[in-house]
Amino acid sequence: MSFSMASTPAYADNNTYHFTVKRGDSLSQYFYKLGLSNRLLANLLFANKNNKKLNQLIIGHKLTIRLRNNLQFKSLTYQLNRKTNLNIVLSGNDFSTILNSQSKKTPSDLSTTVVNINHSFGADAQKSGVGFSTINLIVKALSWQLNFNTDLKKGDRFIIVNDGSAKPVAIIYQSIIKNKSIEAFAYKNKHGHFGYFDRSGRSLNSSFLKAPLKYKRISSKFQLRRYHPILKTWRPHRAVDYAANYGTPVYSTANGIITTKGKKGALGETVIIQHGFDYTTVYAHLSRYANSLYKGQKVKKDQIIGYVGSTGLSTAPHLHYELHHKGKRRDPLTYKLTAQKSISRANLQDFKIKVNKILSSL
């Protein structure tokens, strides 16, 4: 195979290579020049239908390839026409593609703070100059996905991207062990609702099931005064009791982390699940637990965690279910849980442009 001078980049700076397409040029030639593999090229072309436009480069159009310091592929920008650029960014093993207007320049006002984990997120973030309010915000934003007490390993890192406003525009966690990452991108819609989302625009939070049982009969509602059949006194019942047959499966009502599994006084055999930063649910009087359930385990919404029983202070098989929000017990039947919406279709393109700017700034 031979390559004409045509495929030599016009100029290169800082691992950025600019090409102007000449007759006979192809992306595979450019990749070859830069030492990038055919496999990478194939993956890139296959990742999105818009990427296939790179199979036929148009003479005279501009194409830029950026490499990382280790000379691995970082991103690509191709001028599709007068108005539109095709941008492709590789992050981890995933390509993201965005078509954007050339008038929107990539802002250079993004700054990045990297927190390398040595001790704990709080201590290491402080050492890197991250303030308390930002530390709290990050823990809250990622706590649905990440157990900050048990998941972090020495060598993990957090990349915090700021644009000068009060809250980070992106938080990226990269685990050293599992080669796994969690990404949170900020977005504020035109109604002023602010939240963090994955790169596809999905909320990082989980929503809740209406109830932890599929077939249920409420035997005792949330009430401030209830006559207790065993204790024979009036006491508050800040929970819902569901009458159900012995052995009926009990489901986690949202994604979360098991914080308690065991005997808990009057509640008998109990599971407690932490959901994100603010929510906790309690499942009591269980007969037994789901197989291999353990404290610290991540569970999904609708995952079986145990089975109805009558352990602890209980007269008949039932599930006692509590919902706590910000440390207060709430009525699971009526409490309005925070909506966990994804970015609306109308805002998705705008969001993805922002995500791509951030990813290409890393």
Binding site for Zn ion (CB under 5 A): 239, 241, 320
What is the distance between the alpha carbons of residues 112 and 119, in angstroms, rounded to a whole number?
Answer: 21
- Minimum separation from the CB atom of position 322 to Zn ion (A): 8
Judged by beta carbon, residue 286 or residue 355, the one nearer Zn ion is: 286
| Distance between CA atoms of residues 89 and 92, nearest Å | 10
**CA atoms of 234 and 226, how far apart (whole Å):** 5
Q: Which is nearer to Zn ion, 156 or 241 (CB)?
A: 241
Distance CA 41, CA 357 (A): 22
Classify burial at 200, counting beta carbons within 10 Å of its beta carbon; exposed 0-12, middle 13-18, buried 19 or more: middle
Q: How far is the CB of 219 from Zn ion (least distance, A)?
A: 9
Long-range CB pairs of 187-190 (<8 Å, 24+ gap) are 187/343, 187/347, 187/351, 187/354, 189/343, 189/344, 189/347, 190/347
List the structure tokens of 154.
């020495």
Residue ranges in 59-197 assigned as alpha helix (H): 121-127, 132-142
- By C-beta, is 51 or 270 nearer to Zn ion? 270
Q: Which is nearer to Zn ion, 132 or 335 (CB)?
A: 335
CB 220 to Zn ion: min, Å: 6
The answer to whether the CB of 161 falls within 8 A of the CB of 358 is: yes
Choice between 34 and 266, CB closer to Zn ion: 266
**If DSSP codes are grouped into helix, strand and coil, which group holds residue 86?**
strand
Closer to Zn ion by CB, 182 or 308: give it: 308
**Cβ-proximal residues to 319 (8 Å cutoff; 6+ apart), any chain:** 212, 213, 216, 241, 242, 244, 248, 250, 283, 284, 285, 286, 308
**Which of 49, 92, 47 is closest to 39 using CA atoms?**
47
Min dist. Cβ of residue 260 to Zn ion (A): 16
CB closer to Zn ion, 195 vs 306: 306
- Provide, rounded to whole angstroms, the least separation between the CB of residue 240 and Zn ion: 7
Distance in Å, CB of 230 to Zn ion, minimum: 12
Measured distance CA(238)–CA(321) in Å, rounded: 9
Closer residue to Zn ion, CB minimum distance, 19 or 242: 242
Give the CB-nearest residue to Zn ion: 320
